[in-house]
Structure 1
């Protein structure tokens, strides 16, 4: 429609549009009329402003098209929207849109970091999050020039910066390619070595030829445990085929005369009932390993089938295990902490950094100052003989009077169970308070038996009744003090958004949040600033919250392998947070309408402890075991060492232990085995670093390792410019949570390699900044924008 349209306007807004003389497309007229109607009386400037508003969406799309044609993959939709919003000429063409976009992008690149080098790294990391791959050399150079211009460098300085950035990037790519190639070659060598070793093995029928003995002698010596069995292969009939390493067997020839003399003495009637020293030692070793014969040299070096003996300090003590079990809210921690505070020296081991802090605070409240040790944090307490730590940081060579190991049911956890095995077997304390749900009792007793420790049981009852609701609850039924439980971050944020839209004040807790933010959100709920808590099962461990009712939004969860129904332990652990003693007389566990049958919750709450599917504790190698196996097989390949441990150390039906899942450690080993400048022990440390594979964690870790090995300082990951919390999108919140997790891994490595990771203060400052920003975003009680 134009100003000379012959049809008379039917609305004052249309009249104002016609009077403005501005060219308007017919499809734009309905929206423009509505906007102008709000501005009446409207002059030409008011109509032009409204027309710009109508055209902003198309301008933003045009801006993105311009960026795509120029190959500027670093341009985000937010910059395109900002560029469109800055245009004031309704007839703005491509040149004006390009200029506005350049200004918006330069503003973002300038505010990403104070230094152009840091800004370049931040933007590259963001792009890698989106695309999953590095920029091409050409686009990397273009980005470097854009960053330099945004930071006010002149043409000469921009060219110099771009060349330097290209040189650094090319060196990194070359180092990465070399490391990848070396890792592949090492892996091929180790696989070939392992296959050659397996091919060289012989069965029991090959022993007479190797030892120059009779078949009868070979069978007798193998049964007595004198011949090291390299591998056991289960047969279909339930019998095993034993295979032996010829090199090890041949080395035993010098023992044959002694073995035969002992056999003669054992056949002498005068020696009836008397066992030879060698036979006694063999029998003792077999008994100590559940009656099975020795493994091959690798297995003997690793000694995972005698894992309890690995902890010499603990075995030198006479330990008493006090097993304190009970449901959630039964006072287990209170009982143990009282005893720990009375001891002259002590140790409190927690499953989470948040809980380690709470243990430290609880000891301080009892008048005992304690140090703190977690994967990425150390707090010293000079003169103190008490320590609060995460389970993985258990000090195995520091004897104390009393130790606490919390959440012992995690012995059964697929990912972290081996850490609890090590802590329970190796904690060097005369009194060990083991706290957990009733489901942990059989495994704790089994481990105590393997260690030769005595066990005293204390069973506590819940303080305050807990019962299941008879009816499902609707969102409108939720009241102050309720906790709504989901099992994914997305579901938590969706539920939060729905409740906020209803005018409720909501706090959230989920696994991606740092301990500091979880604590702040818990404080908001505790103080009444938030009416309702929406949380994942992270609520089930460590947070002391005055919850009145726990309402499940679903009765199914994805456990990393499959989507399944919640089990009894999970319902009890999470639901037990309802009715906190001292805040409510009792607790209620309910189901959100449409989420499932309330009777299921009642059944799970009333179910007795389920018998464990597996009573063999999980074990995994530590640095000493890695070094011993490497020396035994003569290899510097971490992948090769782990492959041999996985293949040869513990048979699948070992009666006492089972090998923990080493998949992630082997994946990291494959990625960094070819890194020059890192020792085997350095690479093992990297393999234990907590990274998220879903966030390209192993690739990022390999890049850090390459820089470390080359003698370059590894800079901490940074988030760059953060939008005001009240304008942050869900996408931006999620990006900052990822950066925070990367900082956790970086700080973990910085404590172990301070020279390669020197900027710890900067990393801690950035961590604090992200904590504050994320908490401010979560405080915003408005309808959140969904993540893209």
Structure 2
């Protein structure tokens, strides 16, 4: 030993000779640091047990890599990094062999499996669901291997369980293949049906011969909109070629005497014979989306009056409307989010008004209540009330949900309708009032406290209590949160993947001062009552699902407007993080007038009644065929009054369900409206649930999965829990509509509550751990940095929000 060597090096050399455990050359630098910490002052000898402990710490990284690589080579996709890290943390013998490490990993996996469910079958299904969420699908051999592991975890020694699982998996795959084959055949049939019809169309020049009239008469009747155009084909020169359905034209012959001024009694139009092809003109007339306002018969029968209340955030738009609603004998309050529907209900209850609740996944029925708080999509169109409120009317322009606001404003059966929104929504609301022939009053409000742009950018270390930092993806929110926690700050978070309950709990922590700083996505731009002193944008650009673009004037005002709380923070300040943009950009947006809305045609989409009517006219039970025809025929692109909303996801679900027998058209349409996320394999899962429903098999609620101690949870576990909660949202939504197929609603609610509590505990616990460590460092003892947690992959990139 070199006399110049360190005490730690001499201690390692002596311990290696004593124990027979010689470290590899690449292990030496790390081992020397650990042994140096273990040595007493002035000592150059380490106890064998301490030496072995340090050597284990050095080797755990390699052990983890060995275990993970072996699992991947074996196709064990269910083995996760946290499993491996837990296994190597339990190994305290530096002589560990591959077999010994694998034995410990099997113990960890068995514990996790037993935590996932009460029965082997439930555990296997839960693990497959988690893998499917991550986009991983097991082969038959992998299912066999997983079944063996589950059986071993539950102490099942024979192969019957494995054989049953393999048989069930084989039957499931065969059923899926049959369904897809039927779906493909039926889609081809519907497409051929549409193509055959299109080939039967005739041009304008053929009309005189079919109607036995002159070309001049044809021109006049076209101008009077008496002759329906079946299809408009764009031409290269910008004009359109009009095509006509000859069968529809022949039915018009009996109207000619009346059109020529010799009115005769008009017989009822004959209904199409069963099984024959039906033209797009008939479909368009039946759906009547070009006369959408007339679809809401209850609203049109009332003498409605609309009051539009516009103003920026924190201008008190809801106050007057809620007072009018509370004073009415009956009423309806429609909100964009379940959380806000709850707030409307609580506002009514606080005013002494009994109120029920209806959201996509929840019902609270108060006996005798004549007021209802609901989400916009749950608007009851057939029950007249005295007063209704529709909030956040600027959502009319939203490409995903705008059609729901159109339907609510046109169809809310209220004698006095209050529409609340940002100033930008006024032109669209005026247009809807005009289409409904409803009188419109307008009230414009100003902010109760001034909103100003900060003069200089803000550095992360300059954030103070009451600040809200705005990012535009879950990943960015959690990155900012981690950085702030590392600086010893107490942080609350709000982003779209969190449930309303967790968002509300995080908001309460911030408002109560338990958290100094809020880090959030633009999800805070709608709803939550937050006591924010300053809004700080982490970026002035966002990805909106299609493009990365600058924030709009409305977004800056809507999100920035959360700064300043009347009665608490008199001035609201809007800033930007250093190197993320210019304060001048924010100033220009805050003082700019509302951006003009270039498209004033409200978005519309069919509902269940329209879908049924079109299907009856086509004599089909194919939702795929009905939606194909609606997209093609019902609302032409140049309709002067309405635009057809994006129905791509409903169309995808209808396509996936096409091969399932045993569901009627209305049930298929209900599934097509279910809130699922296609990124998380939501449509495939929905199809499996629908398959069980059609086969009269009950669909069990998704479970919570394994939930580690909150202090041990990393991003991967948090994201997995959020996805499980989204599964439960979809399940509960369906359970309210199909209680026979989805019977265990109480278990689903319990699982949702468990996940919400755990997610909130994770968000709270990590803040507490960081705060504890900061205080310990101030006292001069405790760890210099947080104990390492299992690291995880980054979440997916942001997508278009629903």
CA separation of 1:608 and 1:71: change in aligned 2, threshold 3 A: closer
SS at match of 1:27: helix
Q: Which segment drifts farther, 361-370 or 68-77? A: 68-77
- 2:81–2:790 Cα contact (<8 Å) kept: no
Find the counterpart in structure 2 of residue 379 from structure 1. Answer: 364
Corresponding residue for 2:200? Answer: 200
1:29 aligns with 2:19: no
The CA distance in 2 between the partners of 1:51 and 1:480, in whole Å, is 44
Measure the CA separation in 2 of the matches of 1:538 and 1:73: 34
Matches within 5 A, 1:635-674: 635-674=620-659
**Aligned partners of 1:59 and 1:786: how far apart in 2?**
16
> Residue 381 and residue 307 in structure 1: after superposition, are their counterparts in 2 closer, same or farther (change >3 A)?
same
Q: C-alpha deviations, 1:69-115, integer Å up to 9, x for none?
A: 43322212222222222223221222212212221211111222122
| Higher mean displacement: 298-307 or 469-478 | 469-478
**Equivalent residue, structure 2, for 1:137:** 140
Q: Whole-Å Cα distance in 2 between the matches of residues 9 and 578 of structure 1? A: 61
**CA distance in 2 between partners of 1:8 and 1:495 (Å):** 46
- Counterpart Cα distance in 1 of 2:77 and 2:679: 22
2:351 to 362, 366, 372: 366
Contact 2:676 2:730 in 1 (8 A): yes
Q: After superposition, where does 1:668-687 map in structure 2 within 5 Å?
A: 668-687=653-672
Instruction: After superposition, give the CA deviation of every residue in 1:104-129 in whole Å (9 maximum; x if it has no partner).
Output: 21111122212211111111112223
1:594 aligned residue: 579
2:558 is the alignment partner of 1:573: yes
Indicate whether 1:51 and 2:49 are aligned.
no
The secondary structure found in structure 1 opposite 2:601 is coil
Q: Contact 1:16/1:47 (CA < 8 Å) preserved in 2?
A: no
- Matching residue within 144, 151, 154 for 2:154: 151
TM-score (norm 1): 0.93
Q: 1:188 offset after TM fit, Å?
A: 0.9
CA distance in 1, matches of 2:212, 2:508: 76
Shift of 1:325: 0.6
SS in 2 for 1:579: coil
Find out whether 1:723 has 2:726 as its counterpart.
no
Q: What is the Cα deviation at residue 478 of structure 1?
A: 0.8
How far the C-alpha of 1:193 sits from its partner, in A, is 1.1
Deviation at 1:213, TM superposition (A): 2.8
Q: Say which SS state the counterpart of residue 38 (structure 2) adopts.
A: coil
Q: 1:342 to 1:103 in 2, by over 3 A?
A: same
Structure 2 counterparts to residues 364-763 of structure 1, below 5 A: 364-763=349-748
* Deviations, residues 457-480 of structure 1 (Å, cap 9, x unaligned): 111111011111111111121111
Question: Which position in structure 2 is the counterpart of 1:184?
Answer: 184
> How many angstroms does 1:718 deviate by?
1.9
* Aligned-partner SS, 2:94: coil
Aligned partner (choices 104, 123, 131) of residue 119 of structure 1: 123
* CA deviation after TM superposition for structure 1 residue 295, in Å: 7.4
1:85 aligns with 89
Cα deviations by residue, 1:203-246 (Å, 9 ceiling, x for unpaired): 22111222233333333333333322212234455544322111
Q: Deviations over 1:710-759 (max 9, x none)?
A: 11111222231111110101111111111111111111111111111112
User: Contact conserved, 2:355 with 2:366, CA < 8 A, in 1?
Assistant: yes
Distance in 1 between the 2:70 and 2:406 partners?
A: 58
Report Cα offsets for 1:316-359 as digits up to 9, x if no partner. 00000010011100000111101100001000000000100000
For residues 506-557 of structure 1, the C-alpha deviation after alignment (integer angstroms, 9 at most, x for no partner) is 0000011000000000000010000010111111111111100011110001
Measured in 2, the distance between the counterparts of 1:448 and 1:461 equals 23
Contact 1:228 1:295 in 2 (8 A): no
**Residue equivalent to 1:770:** 755
Question: Which residue of structure 1 aligns with residue 780 of structure 2?
Answer: none
8 Å CA contact 1:66–1:98 kept in 2: the answer is: no
Could you say which residue in structure 2 is the equivalent of 1:333? Answer: 318
Deviates more, 1:724-733 or 1:714-723: 714-723
Q: For the residues of structure 2 that align with 1:732 and 1:107, how far apart are their CA atoms?
A: 16
The CA distance in 1 between the partners of 2:14 and 2:67, in whole Å, is: 30
Give unmatched runs, 5+ long, in structure 1.
266-275, 282-293
Cα distance, 1:9 vs. partner? Answer: 6.1
Cα distance between partner residues in 2 of 1:689 and 1:115: 29
Contact persistence 1:32–1:51 (CA under 8 A)? yes
Q: Which runs of 5+ in 2 are unaligned?
A: 40-44, 269-278, 771-785, 794-802
- Note if contact 1:717-1:743 (Cα within 8 Å) is conserved in structure 2: yes
Q: Which moved more, 1:53-62 or 1:216-225?
A: 216-225
1:167 paired with 2:147, answer no
- Please tell me whether the aligned partners of residues 280 and 629 of structure 2 are also in contact (alpha carbons under 8 angstroms): no
Q: 1:270 maps to which residue?
A: none
Q: Distance in 2 between matches of 1:740 and 1:241?
A: 51
What secondary structure does 1:38 align onto?
helix
Q: CA RMSD in A?
A: 2.0
Query: With structure 2 as the length reference, what TM-score do the two structures score?
Result: 0.91
Give distance in 2, aligned partners of 1:306 and 1:6. 94
